[in-house]
Structure 1
Amino acid sequence: MTGPVVVGLDGSAASVTAAWWAAREAMARHVPVLLLHSWTTQPLDVPMAKEALGKQRHGGQVLQRTEAELLHRYKGLSVITELVSVPAAQSLLDASDNAALLVLGSRGHGSVAGFLLGSISLHVLGLARCPAVTVRADDPAVEAGWGRPAAADLQEIVVGVREAGPATDPLLEFAFTAAELRRARVRAVRALPLSSLVTHPPIHRSDEGYETDEHGRLEAALAPWRQKFPAVDVVDHVARGPAAQVLLAASSHSMLTVVGRRRHPSPLSWRLGPVTHAALHHAPCPVAVVPHD
């Protein structure tokens, strides 16, 4: 998708760091970055004119200040600002219809931070129509000040592969595209149960044989993406243990972790799986949540 990289902005440290990350991503993709600020989290039944005007003025200042900083830091960047009265979560979901990427600030380990007044819900990540990335305020992979470079030792894009098949393709496409833009390596991570008997009791396969088979399935899933992105180095990473634990261990030196979640036909039926939750709460790097069928 060639739409803008959209970032939810409220002026907090978390959202400003997210804007820095979003700007660099937009530059790499050759698309604009859209700074989106909602000046009210909920519609006011009878808004006081002065209060509403003050909130709008503050929102405009937040947008102008961040736009000026991004243009100073990233020469040639195209910046769009949008001040909206629609509640923050809904405005981000609406923007995700045509966005290449949605970027949200995170307070850090433990919770996803608010785009406005700390109130954004996880359902934005569960319902966004495009990939959504959370970025921590103190993330070492993001520039922390004027002219200060990002950490140089984070050279991998980690992607969690639950199972080989068409559902994995959107995650792999996102991971390989991100790796090509960054000249990074892809580490495709597949977690296996501690014993093959857990999943294949009738076959009586040895653990070694089962693990070899899973390596083969992962290699087959990666093959078309290796061909499409020949300049990207790839590591297939198959390990025993709980999926969340295996993914987080692999992400310890990653510049980006990619996880998936299923698209939902109704906003009332959305949910994020336990591995995605674990990555969002504990991964030490930005986390991309990619919707798939």
Structure 2
Amino acid sequence: MTGPVVVGLDGSPASVTAAWWAAREAVDRRLPLLLLHSWTTQPLNVPVPQEALSKQRYGGQVLRRTEAELLHRHPGLTLTTELVSDPAAEALLAAGETASLLVLGSRGHGSVASFLLGSISLHVLGLAHCPAVVVRAGDPAVPEGWRPSADDRGDIVVGVQQNGPTTAPLLEFALTTAQLHRARVLAVRALPVSSLMTHPHALTEPGDEAWQAAEHGRLGAELAPWREKFPDVELVQRIDRGAPAQVLLAASQHSRLTVVGRRRHPSRLTWKLGPVAHAALHHMPCPVAVVPHD
């Protein structure tokens, strides 16, 4: 992909953290970065009168300040800004038609490992044409300003519940990103506890080694073509029993990025995120990428 990395910037701490994450990603991917601000869709706590001119001035200041900070840190970055009057969700979805990646910020809520997503973010995540990443405000994995990133974040975790075209875009995105960052990919699959009742080894111990070996062999065969396609990326597999969202969350406690999928929708009037994507977006302790698939 050659389109830009696009980040929605409204001046909030969450959007600034997202911009720092997006800038680093753009540099690593050798792509331009676009900072997009909708002056008609600003945070409720913006300390300016509600006149249109004041909103436009505020938006311009936010873009210029963030642009200067990012270019100071990444002098080789190709960066443009855009101040638009379209609603934020509409503007971001339009930019996503040609973007390689959309990046959104999310306020922390409750525990440290929790997101608070607004209707704009959920709308964009449910309809974006390209992969979209949500970054939590103050995420220690993001090298914001002159603060280095946390050094305990390593793996890129991807959920692979089933083989075939549904999983392919997720693995492609995860492995490509890992190759850029020289990271390891952890492919995670959850098996429901009820599967024990239908498995040939169900009458033996639940942790039956033969049963586990068979499941790992099946997943290994599915991942074999990807290991050949990305020979320089370490691809590790993990299978646990439990609900998919819980298994993925447990595997992502120290990851630098978690990748989940969602189905494409034929109409912008009908869209939704699945339960695993919802759980990941609200509870993962790291940035979350939502990758559309057929």
Q: Return the TM-score normalized by structure 2.
A: 0.90
Q: Deviations over 1:230-284 (max 9, x none)?
A: 1111110011111111000000010000000000111222111111111100100
Equivalences for residues 77-156 of structure 1 within 5 A: 77-109=77-109, 110-113=114-117, 120-146=120-146, 148-156=147-155
Match of 2:46 in 1: none
Q: Structure 2 CA distance, aligned partners of 1:78 and 1:246?
A: 39
Give 1:57 deviation, angstroms.
1.3
Q: Which residue of 2 aligns with 1:182?
A: 181
- Matches of 1:233 and 1:287, distance apart in 2: 20
1:229, CA displacement in angstroms? 1.1
Counterparts of 1:1-293 in structure 2, within 5 Å, are: 1-41=1-41, 51-109=51-109, 110-113=114-117, 120-146=120-146, 148-197=147-196, 201=198, 204-206=200-202, 208=208, 209-293=210-294
Structure 1 position 215, deviation (Å):
1.8
CA deviations over 1:70-123 (Å, ceiling 9, x no partner): 000112011010110010001000011000000000102454445xxxx62412
Match of 1:46 in 2: none
Offset from partner CA, 1:22-58 (integer Å, 9 cap, x none)? 000000000111000000039xxxxxxx911111111
Q: 1:7 aligns to what SS in structure 2?
A: strand
- State the TM-score, normalizing by the size of structure 1: 0.90
User: How far apart in 1 are the matches of 2:241 and 2:275?
Assistant: 17
Letter in 2 for 1:255: R
Q: CA deviation at 1:197?
A: 4.5
Letter in 2 for 1:261: R
SS of corresponding position for 2:193? coil
Q: Distance in 2 between matches of 1:94 and 1:145?
A: 29
Q: Relative to structure 2, which stretch is displaced further, 82-91 or 226-235? A: 226-235
Cα distance in 2, alignment partners of residues 170 and 221 from structure 1:
14
Matched residue type, 1:17: T
Secondary structure of 1:6's counterpart equals strand
In 2, distance between residues paired with 1:292 and 1:24?
A: 25
The AA in structure 1 aligned to 2:15 is S
- Structure 2: unaligned runs, 5 residues or longer: 43-49
- What amino acid is aligned across from residue 166 of structure 1 in structure 2? P
AA matched with 1:33: L
Give 2:168's aligned amino acid.
D
Q: Structure 1 unaligned segments of length 5 or more: list them.
A: 43-49
Q: Which moved more, 1:216-225 or 1:125-134?
A: 216-225
Q: Do the aligned partners of 2:106 and 2:116 also contact (CA within 8 Å) in 1?
A: yes
**Contact kept in structure 1, 2:115 and 2:283, CA below 8 Å:** no
Partner SS, residue 143 of structure 1? coil
Secondary structure of the corresponding residue to residue 122 of structure 1: helix
In structure 2, how many angstroms separate the alpha carbons of the residues matched to 1:41 and 1:21?
22
Number of residue equivalences: 278
Kindly state the Cα deviation for residue 165 of structure 1 after the two structures are TM-superposed. Answer: 1.2
**Within 2, Cα distance between the matches of 1:187 and 1:121?**
26
CA contact (8 A) 1:112 1:122 kept: no
Residue 165 of structure 1 aligns with an amino acid whose one-letter code is G
Report the AA paired with residue 74 of structure 1: H
